[in-house]
């Protein structure tokens, strides 16, 4: 049995008729998959960069404007929707496309952290799942002066190539969207 297999393999290696077709059929899908994965990774990296930029610019405004009336209505209004809108305004690429609208797919968590008795954020990130019922955001509290705060943003997006390469490897929710997370810690400045 082994001699038969060895004999056929020798015959196959000596036969040069149609050998380029076999190599082409094996190599081209691999190269094409690598190309699609690199495009998906590049777009993912760009989205991550814009989310980090938007979060950092918003954290700077929050940190430096503690107690300042941003809306000129006599109140300090840094609720979930206001901070979310600030992040979406500062992260240009995330706010494009109808399915990838930052306003509907971004969810925030902001909690005060005790630096002497550190308890981090939960492992379970609060993200939007458009295939399920709408839940209110969990854990969003404004900080006081000199208080250490942690802000975590989770945005959902549709992969460019969801069935090949990196797009297939992403963990997706019920709507086929992928989550991207960014975190920032800051200390509220005194007024």
Does 13 have pLDDT greater than 60?
Answer: yes
pLDDT higher than threshold 80 for residue 107: yes
Pick the range with the lowest mean pLDDT from 21-25, 64-68, 134-138.
Answer: 134-138
Question: Do residues 38 and 45 make contact, with C-beta atoms less than 8 angstroms apart?
Answer: no
pTM reported for the whole predicted model:
0.74
Domains: count for the chain: 1
Taken as a whole, the chain contains a residue count of 191
Short-list 115, 189, 116, 127, CA closest to 152? 127
Radius of gyration of the chain from Cα atoms? 25
Q: Which domain holds residue 33?
A: 2-187
């Amino acid at each position: 049995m082994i001699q038969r297999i060895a004999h056929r393999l020798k015959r196959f290696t000596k036969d040069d008729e149609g050998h380029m077709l076999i190599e082409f059929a094996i190599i081209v899908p691999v190269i094409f998959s690598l190309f699609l994965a690199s495009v998906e990774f590049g777009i993912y990296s760009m989205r991550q960069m814009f989310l980090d930029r938007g979060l950092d610019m918003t954290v700077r405004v929050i940190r430096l404007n503690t107690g300042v009336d941003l809306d000129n209505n006599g109140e300090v209004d840094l609720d979930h929707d206001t901070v979310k809108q600030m992040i979406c305004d500062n992260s240009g690429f995330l706010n494009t496309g109808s399915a990838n609208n930052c306003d509907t797919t971004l969810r925030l968590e902001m909690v005060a952290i005790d630096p002497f008795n550190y308890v981090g954020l939960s492992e379970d990130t609060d993200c939007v799942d458009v295939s399920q019922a709408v839940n209110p955001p969990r854990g969003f509290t404004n900080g006081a002066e000199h208080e250490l705060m942690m802000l975590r943003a989770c945005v959902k997006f549709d992969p460019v190539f969801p069935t090949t390469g990196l797009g297939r490897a992403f963990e997706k929710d019920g709507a086929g969207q992928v989550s991207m997370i960014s975190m920032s810690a800051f200390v509220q400045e005194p007024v």
